[in-house]
Amino acid sequence: MHSPLISRIGVGLAALALSAAAAAQTLTVWDWKSSDPATSSYFQKVKKDFEAAHSGVTVKFVGQPIEQYYTILGTSLAANAGPDVFLLNGGAQARARMSDLVDLSGLDKGMLGVKEFQDASGKTYALPLTLQGFVVYYNKALYTQAGLDPNKPPKNWDDLKRVCAAFKAKGTKIPCFALGNKEGYGAEFFFSSLAATSMTADEQAQFAAGKLKWSSPQVKTILQAWVDTQKDGWYPKGANSTTKFMDEYEQFMRGDAGNTIGLISDVAHWKQFEEFLTPEKLGVYKMPSPTVAAGNPPDDPRLPVSGGIGYGVNKASKNVALAKQLVQALASPAALQVFANDAGALPANSSVDLQSFKGPTVKIILGWLKDSAVTTTLLGASAAEMEEWHRQSQLLLNGDTTVDKAAARMDEVQASAKR
């Protein structure tokens, strides 16, 4: 027979075991960034600090392939499953999944780029990590070889046409622009880069609301430029079978293309390109447009900038409260400081120190953020429009459709999405 003392000890041990089991929790995070060596220090810091502050909790980052990310995520969410926390691009991709996300309003104080993660009523469904925008990077050594002044990048569309004509006249295999459009991202970057200069703020808003159609002159001009630049030989062959991340950018970093439309934060950006080309050989300029909106200077293009990427909490998570704390940790100034220092990420938090941003290229970009920044046009489009533009852009590049037919199809998708 057991003594009362032994029985009490047994009960106590059982209670402790149950308590430990209850405390042992795993938070699963999906993204396409955590498997990148350039960002590993950021994720390691968040994991280490969060697990230290929450005994028994394990944070598990699962890096998904960017090419299939939203397909994999969509399938999982449709089954009312998936990770506790997941990463999203701001704009259309975030809005398309807000019904699956927990409202994080009130946790976004002091953050920049929040608008791209909010619904029409102003509720916030993901906390932004970065600001993101598009600029053109160029190889100064290749400009010199093409007979161009490497210190005088193009300021308007005619300038840019002369640059690409010089590369073509050289008769080499080096194209004017590297281009990867396998997923349609090349066309996405091209569209918003031109629209930043060719559309007024009101036209941008009208386009986002579905009132400015794809068949309007303002938009068709961009579609026509997409076709014309292909016909004029700006791009290498096979762009529709080339990934943007990272085949296009690897081509540029190898010195096999004169220009590329890249990003301003954390990947395919100034820091990464300077490491390969050296700061002395890397140049940057804002993408010109064939047309310039009223009120915009003719030789000073605009820079499209908006909230970049952000983490949200899955409504189906069994640990919503804890997952919300993890998202706050991921977007905290301390974590973003590491992201900025090591990956060159432009943080969506003004309290993060940017003293580590010392390269000549980023100093130019930071100056543009003060006087040239406008909204990124396609972030106002629906996810359905984005997907259809990806498809139509490939057809246009191959010559399998016309600008008029592509615009008409885009009008149909836009009208359906805005109902």
pLDDT digits (tens, 9 = 90+) for 248-260: 999 999 999 999 9
Q: Using one digit for the tens of pLDDT, what is the confidence trace for 127-144?
A: 999 999 999 999 999 999
Q: Domain 132-305+366-417 has what CATH class?
A: alpha beta
Backbone φ and ψ for 101, nearest 5 degrees, come out as -110, 155
The β-bridge relationship of strands 309-313 and 303-307 is unpaired
The β-bridge relationship of strands 57-63 and 85-89 is unpaired
Q: Stretch 340-359: mean pLDDT, rounded?
A: 95
- pLDDT band, residue 171 (cuts 50/70/90): confident
State the Cα angle at 48 between 43 and 49, rounded to 5°: 100
Average pLDDT, the chain: 94
Q: Which fold would CATH assign to domain 22-131+307-361? A: D-Maltodextrin-Binding Protein; domain 2 (3.40.190)
Rounded Cα distance between 35 and 38, Å, is: 9
Q: What is the pLDDT of residue 12?
A: 46
Rounded Cα distance between 223 and 402, Å, is: 9
Q: Using one digit for the tens of pLDDT, what is the confidence trace for 72-85?
A: 999 999 999 999 99
Largest Cα–Cα distance in the chain?
Answer: 98
Query: Has residue 108 got a pLDDT over 70?
Result: yes
Q: What is the pLDDT of residue 21?
A: 40
Rounded Cα distance between 173 and 256, Å, is: 8
Question: Which is nearest to 131 in space by CA: 368, 335, 331, 306?
Answer: 306
Question: Which is nearest to 235 in space by CA: 182, 196, 283?
Answer: 182
| Residue 136, H or E segment | strand 131-139
User: What is the Cα Rg of the chain in Å?
Assistant: 24
Q: What is the pLDDT of residue 172?
A: 82
| Residue 306, H or E segment | strand 303-307
Position 148: which residue type? L
Q: What is the dihedral of CA 287, 288, 291, 296, to 10 degrees?
A: 90
The CATH 3.40.190.10 domain(s) of the chain lie at 22-131+307-361, 132-305+366-417
- pLDDT band, residue 418 (cuts 50/70/90): confident
Question: Which is nearest to 357 in space by CA: 339, 337, 333, 340?
Answer: 340
Query: Has residue 330 got a pLDDT over 70?
Result: yes
Rounded Cα distance between 323 and 254, Å, is: 41
Q: What is the pLDDT of residue 191?
A: 99
Q: Using one digit for the tens of pLDDT, what is the confidence trace for 191-211?
A: 999 999 999 999 999 999 999
